[in-house]
Amino acid sequence: MSSSNLPRIAVVGFAHSANVTATTGTTNGVEMLIPCFKQLYSQLGISRTDIDFWCSGSSDYLAGRAFSFISAIDAIGAVPPINESHVEMDGAWALYEAWIKIAT
């Protein structure tokens, strides 16, 4: 694929959870992601069903438990079934995988 026929792909929205130094309780992935998705859907004027492919990245080592991303998928709302992929690394690799999926 040469640069002249690459598809035009863009990041059209962004949301993130608060970055705090201390908290009075714990928050799991679902509790952190649901407000982000709500903000993103509102920002873009879309709903979950408008998204054809989900790609996420996480680190079980940093989360401190195996398969930590499984519970985070609950925040997406996987019913009806979704086309989803997960990268056991950081978000940059997930973005790259999503770009490849869209480009091809």
Whole-model pTM above 0.75?
no
86 within some domain = yes
5 within some domain = no
7 within some domain = no
- What single-letter amino acid sits at 59? S
- The half-sphere exposure of 27 on its side-chain side, counting CA atoms within 13 A, is 15
88 within some domain = yes
Give the structural domain span for 50. 15-103
Give per-residue pLDDT as tens, 33-82.
Answer: 889 999 999 999 999 888 888 888 877 777 777 777 777 777 777 666 77
20 within some domain = yes
Q: Which residues are bridge partners to 87 per DSSP?
A: 57
Q: How many independent structural domains does the chain possess?
A: 1
